Structure 1
Amino acid sequence: LSGPGIAINSISISSTFCATGSEDGYLRLWPLDFSAVVLEAEHEAPVSSVCISPDSSKVLCTTTTGNLGYLDIQSRDYNTLMRSHEDSILAFSVEGTWKQMATVSQDNTIRVWDLVSMQQLYDFTAADEMPCAVAFHPTQQILACGFDSGMVRTFSLAASDLLAEHKQHRTVITGLTFSPNGNFMFSSCLQGTLALYSCVAQKSHILRVLGNVVARDAGSGPDALVVSGDSRLLAFVGPSKYVVTVMEACSLDELLRVDISVLDLNSTALDSALKVCFAPVPRGELLVSTSSNKILVLDAKTGRLVREVSPVHKLSCSSLVLSKDGRYLLTAGDRVIKVWDYQMRFDINFQVYIGHSEPVRQVAFTPDQQHVVSVGDAIFLWDFLALPVEGSPPASPFLFTEGSSEKLKDASETPRQIVPLPLSSSPPCLDVSSVHQAECQSIFSESDKEEEAGLPGSSRMVANGDKDASVLEMESVRNEELLVVRPKVRQGSSRSPGESANVVCSHTESLLTWVLNVPDWAILLELILSQCLFFLQSFLSPPAGSEVLKLKAVIGYNGNGRGNMVWNPDTGFFAYTCGCVIVVEDLHSGSQNHWLGHAEEISTLAVSHDAQVLASASGKRNGDSHCQICIWNVQDGVCSASLLHHETQVQAMAFSRDDRFLVTLGDYSDQTIALWNTYTYKLVSSICISEPVHDMAFSPLSHRELACVGKGAMMFWLLEQQGADVNLKVHRELTSLCYGADTLLYSGTNSGQICVWDTETNCCFMTWEADEGEIGVLVCRRNRLVSGSNTKRIPVAAVQELRLKGPDARSSSVLLEHEITLDGTIVSAAFDDSLEMGIVGTTAGTLWYINWMESTSIRLISGHKNKVTEVCFSPDETHCATCGEDGSVRIWSLGSMELVVQFQVLNQSCQCLAWEPHPIVTWAAESQHVVTGYSDGTIRVFSISRTEMELKMHPHAVAVTAITYSTDGEMIISGGKDGLVVVSSPHTGMTIHVLADHRGSPITVLQCTRKEYRDFGVEGGELWLATSSDRRVSVWASDWLKDKCELLDWLSFPAPAGPEGLGSLPPSLAAFCPWEPGTLVYVGFGMQKEALFYSLHKKQVVEKISLPYFATSLSLSPAARFMAVGFGGEYRRV
């Protein structure tokens, strides 16, 4: 063939003929010698591609207008399989009576589709105008369409006729909708004009037009106007983008204006409204999405803010809609769809569905609530598989696209060697069974009731229409997993009984659902039993006294607590807290005992007056209903009781003078005072208080009187006993009586004042300015008073005159004796009876020994002020280095557990550090260094022997998250939050290499090890790895002297869909295995909770160790075959 013929766009050849698709719209069939056309089919647009079927009976072709069809060669019939828009879809509307959907697109077409057959019914083309909004009449076969010219037209689909044209607008139509009763139609344009039409007759007519009421700068969208379900209210953004207006729908009379920009008083930026949506009528709520990625739920009548949801999407929310029953909320943004539990009852209240490659323009439920439609780059129809209201309580919905239900591929835990390519077929569809009320209210729920309700081995039929499906639910109390197994028998299945089961996994934070295609129940039972036996064999707690890993020493004091240090001068009992651990220390020998029992950080301590009982309180763990109070026997350190009453935190605790009662005080959220019997540790009385209380103390003169100090008030309580009942009542007698010398009570204020109270009259008779800041600690012994405040000062004053003169005393009666300045706010203090010596704790994490006679302060315990971010050991294991968010780097002696040297960088957080390895040359052995990475992107090298900073460099633009030395100490390898890995010289500070392979995901681990020079087929004596938060590990071989750095292996570990944001997932961690050269160990968020051993020689996972939880830290022993794994909370494993 030659000559200036028609352009051929596609060609396909079989063994008998050839098919061509050309620019003139013809599909032609030719013999192989191209002598003449055998068969041809004409299309309305150029043919873009052709393909002959394998049996040469059909020819598939596509056109540039988005049509897909095939030519049957034998019958010479042409069949159109699918039609589609040529450009992005701008808006759609769905009606329920005839089950039709209308769409408008940038290709200037209006199309009407049958939702049942998914076939196109009508196609309207506007030559010089672009349709931009569309709406179905709720009861008649009438379609309204708005155009970019400002024209609004209504069409009769039954008669295929134009009913009316409305020219009230002059520019792009931004909103078009009917009222649910069909009586009115509303339209708006980009100039802010709002129009109301009457639709009682088939031909609509204008009723009212308002100018400048809809926001001009809010941007165009398909759903700018919304009408309430009872057709009474109309809402939109306007007249500015900061205001939402509600009008009476039938008249456009304004009813309410809400200024969105000022609802968040703590924000410095103005918030603007984007989209609005009405909740179902009984709720009377209006939802507003804002530019700050929030959804505001307002009262539609008053405009009052009911609640706030944030963040909704990373970018703006382009569309939102509520289901008719008000249980589920749909939002679109970031090219994804989210389905929310509207009540927001769970830790994670949404599920994310991915499918669009461009921004989602609009999303909505179909009228029967069985499907969800979303448009943008294409039209997506999703099955909405939520539990019905009458069958079960609200559960989390599942969305799946229509299409193939083939099984998931690539479900192996073996890391991929290449970047996975996108599938050419539709995403697989998972069968999801409903879960009944007793076992799971929602897939987001983690309540204790659900853990206790599931009965292992229970089975039932699934109410989803599949008669052959059944469910076996197995609930693990510790792992909180639900195993859903469904055998499926389908006609035409090609599975043989001998094939193994295929497993697919759908994961949320609290529920792991497995869907298996099992041909034989024997395979299923074998699978379950093997997994159960493997789990039991993997983790059996060692016998008492035979633990491999024991806590040796704790360095640090928790300055975040309040009253979390106790000391009894008579017995010498001394205890303080550090995180979840109670440290009982001998002040003479320095030996420690560690009492473990709390799962969360301990907030406060209290010791009985005979020093035989210690009470400790900690916060509430996720999933628990109450916080924990532990009662300890001081003699043997055994927890004898656990008290559960307060819902959030315990602010303070105190024993009565006779040690018969323990009083516990809840924090500002709990606001309860509880009284416990110390003989039985049963709750005697509990009282709710109207205002938060900060501190309390029993009277030294009476075991029945208790005083509390709170917000601007002092409360006196009296323990009243009537028979066996003891009640806690407010002591309200406030009459004037004679004053006694020993009836004084002192209280501190947040303004630095100390008030003196007469406990007999409950009156304050004197105050004086004792400090410039908030006084948090007061200790009085005989004639002396110690106060501690947030000014870091702790003064001692003589108050003998107050005892002698009583109410006749003046502030001049108080004499300041001594004052010492410490390193932080005073949070705890304990002194002897003469107030000559004591121990004081500060927010800097330090415990000080104070001696007033000698005017000295000695540091007893010192630790990091904030979170410790990393720890490493010196090569000779005589010292260890720690760094923290307080910006300090501390070097500790492992022999004495004493602080050797500290390096402090102000206003920066130290994120990571590494100790320099043994130097090759002997003359440099005495000079030890540590390298540290900071939140501002800087790296510092500190000399330990000279106690100074030797080098500072700034190779990163963001925070440094991982750092290490090369094995010879001649290079520093650092990784940043942006995923860049930088190789620098510790001598000159110059940047040698910048590796961007992990760009976009924070580096979590960097590690180096030695290798044979030509091992793995590459030159270099060093092997090092980099791990990033996206579950990728790169392994490199380097020869630094020859400036060689070569990528050896690239691992990508699969994982199910998890919560948004890498920061909310367990970290990805990897380390070289010391006892298996050429092998690395990986832990992280994945298909299973396990540690994977990957061989660099075999390029595959060679061993797996099951873990009870996802790991948060990992370390491998270089001396023995031990692996230490840390988990969230208090759990550790070896």
Structure 2
Amino acid sequence: MAAEAAGGIELLAAIGYNGHIHSGLTFHPDEKHILYPLGCTVVVQELGSQKQTFLRGHMSDISCLSVSRDGQYVASGEATSMNCKAEVILWDFQQKKLLARLSLHKGRIEGLAFSPSSLYLMSLGGQDDGRVAVWHVHKQEAFCLSPASARNAGNATIVVCSSYRDEVFVTAGNGTMRVWELDSVKRNIHPTECRTAQLKRMFTCVKIADDDSYFYVGTTSGDILKVNTNTKVMASYGPAKKTFSSGVTALLLLTTGDLIVGTGGGIVALLKTSNYRVMKKISVQGAVTSLTCGHQGRQFFVGTNECQIYHVNVVEFKEELITTCHNEAVQDIVFPLGVSDLFATCSKNDIRVWHTPEHKELLRIVVPNGTCHAIDILSDGNSIISAWDDGIRSFTARTGRLIYMINHAHRLGVTAIAATNDCKRIVSGGGEGQVKIWNIHEKSQKLGEILKVHTSAVSCIKIKKDDQEFITASLDGTCMIWDIVQFVRKQMIQTSRFAKCVCYHPEGYQIITCGADRKIRYWEVFDGSEVREVEGCISGSINGMDITSDGACFVTGGDDHLVKLWDYIEGAVTHVGVGHSGSITRLKICPGKKYIVSVSADGAILVWKYPGSH
């Protein structure tokens, strides 16, 4: 069966948030949902529950997001390659339906904004495009197009619409700030440059007052400008002395007239606009990239470039972390033996344990300035072993307390790790290609044997159920089957260049391998002979693979961003999951065949319903 004819895999949950997108976090006017981008997907999160729905239609990463004031429409823009068309997708929010693909810009959509009555949608192209477009929402067609900034000015990066006039909007960016007026009869737009006296600034964010009389502009210099919308002249700026040293990155104007300021240093401050005096402030993790208000200004949400989302009550002005995820590539994922409701992931600086049904973080183990390349959970469920640049670490599974560390376990870092089923030994692989077997106890860890055959980094280790044998895959293109009792090599399999992953069939008589040559190969364990070869993907590498406990099916993922479920005997794709925008690094089928969890290089964790499960 061709992949094109295969069924789909239902996406249950997306754990992740692209906090690098300016104003990417948006509160819906129904006050029941927040929307945010994750790769090529818009996640619609219901507040107070774990229910999510998804807007999927982009083939490239989402670069900006906007919701109409009446909540009827959502618009999302994408970032593509230079000189390639970058689309804006218009969505119906209630039906979660794609209404139109709007295509005029090239390279990247930098910003989007709906006019107050949702009559128009303004889109701003990126550096390679440099144009601002006005779209007629109901007709779903371009109304007019113009260069976004003057030739002697920098690039515009922000577009914000008037609070009650459909024909007025503001753009700002590197040394440019303009108020635009739309002539609906002549179908063109006229810009007026704003006058800021002698101030030369890079503008990062804009917030227009509800009465449209003025707007505030944040700068990389850490000050805030107030500009009269009608005269286009700067009225004031501040703070006069204590500016925000890391720059103002987000603004929010409350109904009281006070201003919420987000900064590049992770400060969220409440300012009195009459004198720019800081009345209250809190600290969050990462630079603030989004501020969005809800419930008549009584609460607001904060998004940061560390991919954290916070809820803040305006009166109490205390932050509550409501969404968290990895902000670097996720390197590995593992389920405890026989448990489907928990799984662990690892990335740069940390290991996290998640509750699968609620996709909620239960435990975070932080190791600053390190990258965890692989993890395993001992079969007794008591500890997590992990492979780091500087050695092997073992942590308690419940509290994350460090049990022991083996410093400099491998000369070029530990790249793969696995534990025997009796919990007495660890097999580790290193960047130099060596395989080491360790005898472990809580109070002592001794090196038992060193196996030197691979000439490049070990990418995967799998141990047979009976603890008599294990297999290693390496980027040198070989897989080795080892006798773990006698410490000798039983078979060498020449797979392909850059072998990435290997799995034992549960009955132990065959293995399957995958790697950079896009092939999936079946091998006999007894003599190392190749049984079968199938085409795994059209382009890129296959990076991850896992097999069901009954051996009937296996799942693969890689650089094509697709999760593929295969029939083992037929060697054919039965189901395909579409949702990742980054390369899939690893994926696992849970022990009860209820979920498939895949992780990717963009930090996303996607939880899929295993086809046929209840």
Same fold (TM over 0.5): yes
1:955 maps to 409
2:490 maps to 1048
**3-state SS of paired residue (2:85):** coil
2:179/2:194 contact within 8 Å kept: no
1:709 maps to 172
Aligned pairs for 1:999-1010 (under 5 A) are 999=455, 1001-1010=456-465
Within the candidate set 224, 228, 241, 1:758 is matched to 228
2:188 maps to 727
In the alignment, structure 1 residue 580 sits paired with structure 2 residue 40: yes
Within the candidate set 10, 16, 20, 1:560 is matched to 20
1:611 maps to 71
Within the candidate set 113, 130, 134, 1:671 is matched to 130
1:718/1:730 contact within 8 Å kept: yes
2:267/2:282 contact within 8 Å kept: yes
String of CA shifts for 1:985-1039, please: whole Å, max 9, x gaps: 332232222222112x12111111124xxxxxxxxx4221111112210011212
Within the candidate set 486, 510, 513, 1:1082 is matched to 513
In the alignment, structure 1 residue 1071 sits paired with structure 2 residue 503: yes
Which has more helix, going by share of residues? 1
Report the CA distance between 1:825 and its aligned residue: 0.6
Report the CA distance between 1:607 and its aligned residue: 0.7
Ranked by relative contact order (alpha carbons within 8 Å, sequence separation 6 or more), the top structure is 2
String of CA shifts for 1:639-693, please: whole Å, max 9, x gaps: 2222233322222211111211111222233322222221232222222334211
2:264/2:287 contact within 8 Å kept: yes
| Compared CA separation, residues 608 and 1004, structure 1 to 2 (3 A) | same
Report the CA distance between 1:969 and its aligned residue: 1.9
**3-state SS of paired residue (1:985):** strand
Q: What CA distance in whole angstroms lies between the structure 2 residues aligned with 1:904 and 1:735?
A: 46
Q: What CA distance in whole angstroms lies between the structure 2 residues aligned with 1:776 and 1:982?
A: 48
| Compared CA separation, residues 986 and 615, structure 1 to 2 (3 A) | farther
Q: What CA distance in whole angstroms lies between the structure 1 residues aligned with 2:61 and 2:556?
A: 20
2:206 maps to none
2:5 maps to 541
| Compared CA separation, residues 592 and 1002, structure 1 to 2 (3 A) | same
Q: What CA distance in whole angstroms lies between the structure 2 residues aligned with 1:678 and 1:1119?
A: 52
1:890 maps to 352
| Compared CA separation, residues 741 and 849, structure 1 to 2 (3 A) | closer
| Compared CA separation, residues 848 and 946, structure 1 to 2 (3 A) | closer
Q: What CA distance in whole angstroms lies between the structure 1 residues aligned with 2:215 and 2:367?
A: 43
1:907 maps to 369
Question: Could you tell me which amino acid in structure 2 is paired with residue 960 of structure 1?
Answer: V
2:268 maps to 794
String of CA shifts for 1:316-346, please: whole Å, max 9, x gaps: xxxxxxxxxxxxxxxxxxxxxxxxxxxxxxx
Aligned pairs for 1:226-245 (under 5 A) are none
**3-state SS of paired residue (1:1068):** strand
Q: What CA distance in whole angstroms lies between the structure 1 residues aligned with 2:350 and 2:286?
A: 15
Q: What CA distance in whole angstroms lies between the structure 1 residues aligned with 2:212 and 2:145?
A: 30
Question: Could you tell me which amino acid in structure 2 is paired with residue 1053 of structure 1?
Answer: T
In the alignment, structure 1 residue 820 sits paired with structure 2 residue 252: no
| Compared CA separation, residues 643 and 1129, structure 1 to 2 (3 A) | farther
Q: What CA distance in whole angstroms lies between the structure 1 residues aligned with 2:302 and 2:436?
A: 45
In the alignment, structure 1 residue 1022 sits paired with structure 2 residue 472: no
Within the candidate set 48, 52, 55, 1:592 is matched to 52
Question: Could you tell me which amino acid in structure 1 is paired with residue 169 of structure 2?
Answer: L
Query: Please, what TM-score do these two structures have when normalized by structure 2?
Result: 0.83
| Compared CA separation, residues 867 and 1068, structure 1 to 2 (3 A) | closer
Within the candidate set 1033, 1036, 1046, 2:482 is matched to 1036
**3-state SS of paired residue (1:604):** strand
Within the candidate set 236, 239, 258, 1:784 is matched to 258
1:599/1:1130 contact within 8 Å kept: no
Q: What CA distance in whole angstroms lies between the structure 1 residues aligned with 2:159 and 2:194?
A: 19
Q: What CA distance in whole angstroms lies between the structure 2 residues aligned with 1:1033 and 1:1010?
A: 18
Report the CA distance between 1:1106 and its aligned residue: 3.0
In the alignment, structure 1 residue 972 sits paired with structure 2 residue 426: yes
Instruction: Return 943-952 or 1090-1099, whichever deviates more.
Output: 1090-1099
Q: What CA distance in whole angstroms lies between the structure 1 residues aligned with 2:312 and 2:193?
A: 39
2:163/2:212 contact within 8 Å kept: no
**3-state SS of paired residue (1:553):** strand
In the alignment, structure 1 residue 1105 sits paired with structure 2 residue 561: no
| Compared CA separation, residues 734 and 1003, structure 1 to 2 (3 A) | closer
Question: Could you tell me which amino acid in structure 2 is paired with residue 654 of structure 1?
Answer: A
1:844 maps to 306
1:538/1:1105 contact within 8 Å kept: no
Aligned pairs for 1:183-262 (under 5 A) are none
Q: What CA distance in whole angstroms lies between the structure 2 residues aligned with 1:947 and 1:1098?
A: 42
2:587 maps to none
1:879 maps to 342
In the alignment, structure 1 residue 639 sits paired with structure 2 residue 93: no
RMSD: 2.4
| Compared CA separation, residues 1051 and 741, structure 1 to 2 (3 A) | closer
Q: What CA distance in whole angstroms lies between the structure 2 residues aligned with 1:963 and 1:755?
A: 54
Aligned pairs for 1:425-436 (under 5 A) are none
| Compared CA separation, residues 662 and 1103, structure 1 to 2 (3 A) | same
1:538/1:1106 contact within 8 Å kept: no
Q: What CA distance in whole angstroms lies between the structure 1 residues aligned with 2:195 and 2:429?
A: 67
| Compared CA separation, residues 585 and 946, structure 1 to 2 (3 A) | closer
Which has more strand, going by share of residues? 2
Report the CA distance between 1:861 and its aligned residue: 0.7
Question: Could you tell me which amino acid in structure 2 is paired with residue 1051 of structure 1?
Answer: I
1:768 maps to 238
Report the CA distance between 1:621 and its aligned residue: 5.6
| Compared CA separation, residues 977 and 1127, structure 1 to 2 (3 A) | same
Report the CA distance between 1:1104 and its aligned residue: 3.1
Q: What CA distance in whole angstroms lies between the structure 1 residues aligned with 2:394 and 2:65?
A: 40
String of CA shifts for 1:217-250, please: whole Å, max 9, x gaps: xxxxxxxxxxxxxxxxxxxxxxxxxxxxxxxxxx
Question: Could you tell me which amino acid in structure 2 is paired with residue 844 of structure 1?
Answer: E
1:174 maps to none
Q: What CA distance in whole angstroms lies between the structure 2 residues aligned with 1:962 and 1:651?
A: 40
1:641/1:681 contact within 8 Å kept: yes
Within the candidate set 408, 417, 435, 1:981 is matched to 435
Report the CA distance between 1:912 and its aligned residue: 1.4
**3-state SS of paired residue (1:620):** coil
Question: Could you tell me which amino acid in structure 1 is paired with residue 425 of structure 2?
Answer: M
| Compared CA separation, residues 695 and 705, structure 1 to 2 (3 A) | same
In the alignment, structure 1 residue 1130 sits paired with structure 2 residue 592: no
1:1028/1:1068 contact within 8 Å kept: yes
| Compared CA separation, residues 982 and 848, structure 1 to 2 (3 A) | same
| Compared CA separation, residues 972 and 564, structure 1 to 2 (3 A) | same
1:569/1:831 contact within 8 Å kept: no
In the alignment, structure 1 residue 993 sits paired with structure 2 residue 449: yes
In the alignment, structure 1 residue 718 sits paired with structure 2 residue 181: yes
1:735/1:761 contact within 8 Å kept: no
2:478/2:496 contact within 8 Å kept: no
Q: What CA distance in whole angstroms lies between the structure 2 residues aligned with 1:635 and 1:681?
A: 18
1:562/1:651 contact within 8 Å kept: no
1:66 maps to none
The structure number with the bigger radius of gyration is: 1
Question: Could you tell me which amino acid in structure 1 is paired with residue 270 of structure 2?
Answer: V
Within the candidate set 1114, 1118, 1121, 2:549 is matched to 1118
**3-state SS of paired residue (2:469):** strand
2:79/2:108 contact within 8 Å kept: yes
| Compared CA separation, residues 1054 and 955, structure 1 to 2 (3 A) | closer
- Structure 1: where are the runs of 5+ without partners? 1-536, 802-811, 919-924, 1012-1020, 1056-1061
Report the CA distance between 1:562 and its aligned residue: 2.0
String of CA shifts for 1:949-1005, please: whole Å, max 9, x gaps: 111112112232211112222111121222122222332232222222112x12111
Number of positions where the alignment pairs a residue of Structure 1 with one of Structure 2: 539
Query: Please, what TM-score do these two structures have when normalized by structure 1?
Result: 0.46
| Compared CA separation, residues 596 and 989, structure 1 to 2 (3 A) | farther
Question: Could you tell me which amino acid in structure 1 is paired with residue 396 of structure 2?
Answer: S
Q: What CA distance in whole angstroms lies between the structure 2 residues aligned with 1:728 and 1:959?
A: 58
